[in-house]
Amino acid sequence: MVRRYLGKLPPSLLGEVIANLRAGVVLQNVDGTILACNPSAPIVLHMTADELLGRSALDPAWRALDENAEPMSGQAHPTMVSLRTGKVLEGIVMAVRGGNDELVWLQVDCYPTELPEGPAVLGVFTDITAVRAREMELRGTVEVLQRALLPEAFPLKPWLVADGRYQAPTGTIAAGGDFYDLFEIDGGRSGFFIGDVCGHGVTATSTMALARYTLRGVGHAVESPVEVLERLNEALLRGGVDEYCTAVYGVATRAGDGGADVVLAVGGHPLPVLLPHDGPPREVGEHGTLLGFPNIPPHHTDVEVHLRPGDQLLLYTDGLLECPEPRATVDDMLARIHAGPTPTATIEIAMANHPVEGRPRSDDTALLVLAVPAPDDSGYDDAGS
């Protein structure tokens, strides 16, 4: 509220109000030059007031970085963006080289204002260097735990091949809760799943572990994917975790035509996408309720899908479609995706050809692709199970 109030103050009152703030405050004119600062601003930046006054946001000596530690151009500096657009910007994370060439991580708010000579911007910033260091250390620990829960390799089957991929979200210090796996039930059947825990960090990782081991354990004991999902739902509710999750669970069985008969159920998750070798992609399955969400009666449906030789099945988490603005749609993805020669190639196509590629992703992303090799793929049609 203090920062919002400062953004509305006339310049004549700025000095009196901001002098005792612990946050740094600077007033910059239309070309980004710092005209005034409070006593805290040079302290935060490890420099003197004389060194700070007169410098511009466009000065390359700042060597500014965005929150992903990538170089930030002068025009991308939040104060310049606020000046250019006339919009309030809040909570921007960035870093600059301050006095003695120290890297200082900042959280910056920018409020457009007016001077007699024209537009200006009030920048309010706090030093978050220590917080950033602790969060990055925690993220590293969580990511190690999370990746330990992801499969390093899948069981080799001549009638079913697979690959998976996990990608962390862009510009966040909190690891996500996406997970997937493919495992052997017996010689002619394989279980598979993909899921997404609501939340990030240590708690999401622990929920992911509970979900993964429940699906694998129950998947060996019962045949119906619906029953597997409902057992997971009970485990999440019984475990008292705060996060709910979504998931797809299925069983693939070797078919007599060289393909695979799949039975799958969906719990609050994006529907799998069938990639036929001779036709357009389409969604398969029926939407079901979230897992581990209190007071929602479970409702899931077993759906049968036949994979012919050469067909593939894509499972993904919703991070594949998410970015700050605009969010891609399933129709966008279906219009662009197609099966590659291998599951790995299909994952590359899915990651590269959807509308948000090359832009920041606001959520983590997991993909799992199952494929029935075509008869001419290394003679798999003649191989036994």
Looking at the structure, do residues 298 and 351 belong to the same domain, yes or no? yes
Looking at the structure, do residues 229 and 366 belong to the same domain, yes or no? yes
134 assigned to some structural domain? no
290 assigned to some structural domain? yes
Average pLDDT over residues 90-100: 89
86 assigned to some structural domain? yes
Average pLDDT, rounded, for the chain: 84
Taking residue 325's Cβ as centre, other Cβ atoms within 10 Å add up to 7
The band of 105, judged by pLDDT with boundaries at 50, 70 and 90, is: very high
- Lookup: tokens for 114: 């007016």
pLDDT computed for residue 241 by the predictor: 64
pLDDT computed for residue 132 by the predictor: 83
pLDDT computed for residue 131 by the predictor: 83
55 assigned to some structural domain? yes
- For residue 113, what are the contacts with CB-CB under 8 A and spacing of at least 6? 7, 8, 9, 11, 27, 119, 120, 121, 122
Average pLDDT over residues 367-373: 96
Query: Does residue 11 carry a pLDDT above 60?
Result: no
pLDDT computed for residue 134 by the predictor: 76
Average pLDDT over residues 237-262: 89
What CA–CA distance (Å, rounded) separates 87 from 85? 5
Query: Does residue 384 carry a pLDDT above 50?
Result: no
Looking at the structure, do residues 347 and 245 belong to the same domain, yes or no? yes
CA distances 368 to 39, 248, 312, Å, are 54, 11, 10
- Evaluate if pTM is beyond 0.85: no
Of 18-22, 75-79, 241-245, 374-378, the range with the highest mean pLDDT is: 75-79
- Which CATH number characterizes residue 269's domain? 3.60.40.10
Higher pLDDT, 187 or 50: 50
Average pLDDT over residues 340-365: 73
Query: Does residue 356 carry a pLDDT above 80?
Result: no
What CA–CA distance (Å, rounded) separates 349 from 370? 15
Looking at the structure, do residues 112 and 170 belong to the same domain, yes or no? no
* Percent of the chain residues topping a pLDDT of 90: 54
Determine the structural domain holding residue 251 and report its residue range.
140-382
CA distances 336 to 202, 209, 270, 317, 340, Å, are 35, 33, 17, 17, 12
